[in-house]
Amino acid sequence: MLDVFALVVIVVHFGVPLLYYFYMKKKWLGRPWNLKFDKNYKPKVTIIIPTYNEAKLIEVKLDNIYAQEYPRDSLEVVIVDSASTDGTLDIVKKWISQHGDINIKIFEEPERRGMVPALNYVLQHCQINGEVVIFTDVDAFWEGDTLKRIVKYFADSSVGAVTAGIAPIATLAIDDPLERSYRNYFTQLRIAESKAHSTPIHNGALIALRTSLLYKIGGLPEYTGNNDSTPASIIAFMGYRAIHADDVVVKELIKEGQVLRKIRRAQHLILHFLKTKQYSKKLGFYSPAKQFQKIWQIEWWLHIINPWLLIVAIALLIVSTLHTSPVAPIILGIGLVLLISSTYRMWILQQLYLVIGAVRNLWTKELVWRK
Ligand code: GDD
Ligand code: MN
């Protein structure tokens, strides 16, 4: 009896995401965007880079932004630093003194309060001239045409947020194939969701927001610790498109300590799915498209409920094994053997991160994290 129940739970746990994935892939992935692009649309853009102890990378990052193929007079860059102790700002100041032909400003916070409060500090105290605001992490590196590609989506007035795919790199030159396969599955889903209407999950390596909308929602909400998925989803709840571009990938440098980082990001995503819909309603901007409402519901299930089904199934199978069921250990064994498949392994790990993240949220929300 326990075995049958465990099997049902397993079928639901794997069946819902698989069905969703194949459905979205078949129905939406290959479709056109249904957006009006304009390659000549070159609005003013403000790039905001939060920094905390980034002495090792900040110079490469600034060079990377400097190399963007975009009209210089339509670009402004703002660095917001929260009392770095490793000389990050000295490097920035030196770089600025050597590059007089780019509009770049520094904002200094007297103490560290976290990435999102630092970004809000800029939104409140700095005159933002860009029609589009882009947040980007110091450890994210763009191709020369990235900005151009991202901005063209905003030519369509229904677009409120645009994010890019991520190619993780272990050093500034070498790829990490495992991490990439994990992204591929999710990347396809994000793009399919975006073509259907919007995706609720965005990447902080590059998140572009329509400035007027960002101010309309009162800046970045501070309850999730992220600056990407949450503002983008509120904008989607307003009825605008919040999309994952299918023609832009940025490189993200992966350092050690990945497990803790993934748990923290899971924590932020859980807070996002628990609170963002309510928050949008409270703001009085809740008029989502039907498609996005459905996407939100399924992703909510996949992040909040589904990971626990795996735990329930494993617990049932263990109890059943202890009660000398002959079937339960076989199912457990199959589950273990499948771990040789990297996609399956990544899936299981992601479920564990979400479960651990949910529990960890009970005592710390990791709104300010170790650097
Ligand atoms: N000013 C400031 N103050 N910047 C900060 C602070 C802070 O307290 N903490 C982190 N940062 C900066 C980092 O210097 C980096 O440029 C960026 O914020 C992202 O921080 P990382 O330490 O690189 O963390 P990550 O790669 O895991 O961050 C990602 O996760 C968040 C959600 O968990 C990013 O993609 C974020 O954009 C995302 O919202
Ligand atoms: Mn990072």
- Whether 80 and 51 have beta carbons less than 8 Å apart is answered as yes
pTM of the model: 0.95
Q: Which pLDDT belongs to residue 371?
A: 81
Q: Hey, whose CA ends up nearest to atom 27 of ligand 1?
A: 261
**Ligand with an atom nearest the CA of residue 232:** 1
Report whether residue 365 contacts ligand 1, using a CB cutoff of 6 Å: no
Query: Of all atoms in ligand 1, which is nearest to the CA of residue 109?
Result: 1
Q: Hey, whose CA ends up nearest to atom 31 of ligand 1?
A: 226
**Ligand with an atom nearest the CA of residue 118:** 1
**Ligand with an atom nearest the CA of residue 137:** 1
Residues 241, 288: Cα–Cα separation, whole Å:
10
AA identity, residue 237: F
- Whether 196 and 293 have beta carbons less than 8 Å apart is answered as no
- Whether 100 and 71 have beta carbons less than 8 Å apart is answered as no
Per residue in 49-101, pLDDT (tens digit) is 999 999 999 999 999 999 999 999 999 999 999 999 999 999 999 999 999 99
Regions of the chain where pLDDT drops below 50: 174, 177-178, 180-182
3-state SS assignment for residue 75: strand
- Whether 144 and 68 have beta carbons less than 8 Å apart is answered as yes
307 C-alpha vs ligand 2 centroid, how far in Å? 25
- Whether 295 and 196 have beta carbons less than 8 Å apart is answered as yes
Query: Of all atoms in ligand 1, which is nearest to the CA of residue 52?
Result: 14
Burial of 232 (0-12, 13-18, 19+ CB in 10 A): buried
Extents of the domains making up the chain: 2-25+296-360, 32-288
- Whether 77 and 102 have beta carbons less than 8 Å apart is answered as yes
Pocket test for ligand 1, best of 52, 77, 223, 303 (most atoms within 8 A of CB): 52
Q: Which pLDDT belongs to residue 258?
A: 84
| CATH architecture, domain defined by 32-288 | Alpha-Beta Complex (3.90)
Report whether residue 114 contacts ligand 1, using a CB cutoff of 6 Å: yes
Order of strands, sheet of 132-135, starting from the edge strand that comes earlier in the sequence: 103-109, 75-82, 45-51, 132-135, 207-210, 159-169, 241-253, 140-141
Q: Which pLDDT belongs to residue 280?
A: 97
Pocket test for ligand 1, best of 86, 115, 169 (most atoms within 8 A of CB): 115
26 C-alpha vs ligand 2 centroid, how far in Å? 33
Within the chain, residue ranges assigned H as helices are 2-24, 58-66, 88-98, 115-125, 146-151, 177-196, 211-216, 229-237, 258-283, 290-300, 306-322, 327-337, 342-360
Q: Hey, whose CA ends up nearest to atom 9 of ligand 1?
A: 115
Closest residue by Cα to residue 200 from 243, 155, 233? 233
